[in-house]
Structure 1
């Protein structure tokens, strides 16, 4: 496991775990479909499924979370990511990138020495990285920590954690996530009436945000 004990900064009083937000997000990553033919769409879907396997956490990730008592810690941090992204007007794609980075990083570290503040620190770093990768406007490290964290971290501490995450992930950030498939559905949904299209996308977004708190990584056969 990457040594993070030296990164602990000031703590604040614990707060209640945040609920899944219903706040509007920034751009939803949906616009006019980039695919003009069925063949282009099928090729993009095939590439997406092939890439997904290489962007999954290490095997037995759920078992590792359970053995290290990290299931609740992960849940709280994913909820924090969702709420913070809504507050900061970040895209939904950023939320799913951040969750993927968090899961992959934790899965690579099998040490039993995890503490809750470590998961929070990694979560802040992952959301920061994801926003830089996926969004055009990036919040400052202080803005990221304005609400719902049990601990606070100096910007320099978060930056060091970002480098640890990037190195552990091999700088491979263009992850295939569950949201990637929803983006691909845009080609199919273009035929719907605009009002029905908008309602369906909104419903699917809420379903995915609710599901992201659950650790489910099943490779596509």
Structure 2
């Protein structure tokens, strides 16, 4: 756990369920029945890990939040490559970031506050998903003018965890990749590259995680050189699990994804070009800030005290 321990503990029943979910996501899918069972389970559970419904509108209406999100996600991708983290880790961190902002709203936040939130989200995701520990300093080497104190990062982590009601074993688009790509390495790699590109674009928040994942795999299939291993990849039977309204969304999702791929083709050449370092912070008087001055972590909008789970309508 990265030389740190959680500042408090989640409800034991919730924690046990989270671990069960993690086991399922790590499962080797040997049969069609295994794939269908896990895919169906993910479809049900992904609704528990979505941002608030008003999040897309918040991003569209606020240049500050829209730009801060892009900057933060860009940095998360850069840090994931620099630190050789699992791809699943960066998708978890992005999920935490989006869910937190959608709940807390983060109006009037300064740039460095989003920077701190990004570090906290990646730290939590790493503790949950990585086998090798990283110090809090490791996450910050990209920073130009800022180095957050460990106590401040830990306070932000606790705020995030409470805000998310300790629900951190999120179902993300990446969760579906191994099921859909059926362990074909080239297809898995290409689909992951596509997801790392489109996760920067807030337009994809309009779609469910399974829709984004299926669109990425279909686009990857279109781009992969035809090989015996990819010829036999088919997951049409899994689409029967998706509600009709979400199937309609797949057409639009693939259209937007194709547009993003064409626009950002150079970014997709992983290993030759990485996204520019995101968190080059604005100039501000950070030196006078201390861990004791953390009132922004207790904003009324966050409401971390109740730990109350938010109930979503069934889609």
- Shared fold (TM-score greater than 0.5)? yes
Instruction: Write the deviation string for residues 108-145 of structure 1: whole angstroms up to 9, x where unpaired.
Output: 01352222211111110000000000001121111100
Query: Matched residues in 1 for 2:103 and 2:66: separation?
Result: 16
Query: Matched residues in 1 for 2:147 and 2:117: separation?
Result: 12
Say whether the 8 Å CA contact 2:29–2:179 is kept in structure 1.
no
- Superposed displacement of residue 66, structure 1: 3.4
Q: Equivalent of 1:58, from 48, 52, 67? A: 52
TM-score, normalising length from structure 2?
A: 0.55
Say whether the 8 Å CA contact 2:120–2:154 is kept in structure 1.
yes
Say whether the 8 Å CA contact 1:80–1:148 is kept in structure 2.
no
Aligned to 1:90: 85
Q: Return closer, same or farther for 1:201/1:151 CA change in 2, 3 Å cut-off.
A: same
Q: Equivalent of 2:193, from 203, 206, 209? A: 206
Aligned to 1:145: 140
- Superposed displacement of residue 152, structure 1: 2.6
Q: Please list every run of 5 or more consecutive structure 1 residues that lacks an aligned counterpart in the other structure.
A: 1-31, 190-196
Query: Matched residues in 1 for 2:195 and 2:78: separation?
Result: 14
Q: Return closer, same or farther for 1:93/1:86 CA change in 2, 3 Å cut-off.
A: same
Q: Equivalent of 1:46, from 40, 48, 66? A: 40
Q: Equivalent of 2:131, from 129, 136, 143? A: 136
1:47-126 equivalence runs, <5 A: 47-68=41-62, 69-110=64-105, 112-126=107-121
1:15-26 equivalence runs, <5 A: none
Aligned to 1:159: 154
Higher relative contact order (Cα pairs below 8 Å, separated by 6+ residues): 1
TM-score, normalising length from structure 1?
A: 0.77
Q: In terms of Rg, which structure is larger?
A: 2
Say whether the 8 Å CA contact 1:120–1:149 is kept in structure 2.
no
Deviates more, 1:171-180 or 1:113-122: 113-122
Instruction: Write the deviation string for residues 150-197 of structure 1: whole angstroms up to 9, x where unpaired.
Output: 6331111000000000000011111000001102225x34xxxxxxx3
State the SS of the aligned residue for 1:138. Answer: coil
State the SS of the aligned residue for 1:70. Answer: helix
Say whether the 8 Å CA contact 1:120–1:151 is kept in structure 2.
no
Structure with greater helix percent: 2
Q: Return closer, same or farther for 1:59/1:33 CA change in 2, 3 Å cut-off.
A: closer
- Superposed displacement of residue 61, structure 1: 0.6
Q: Please list every run of 5 or more consecutive structure 2 residues that lacks an aligned counterpart in the other structure.
A: 1-25, 209-241, 244-315
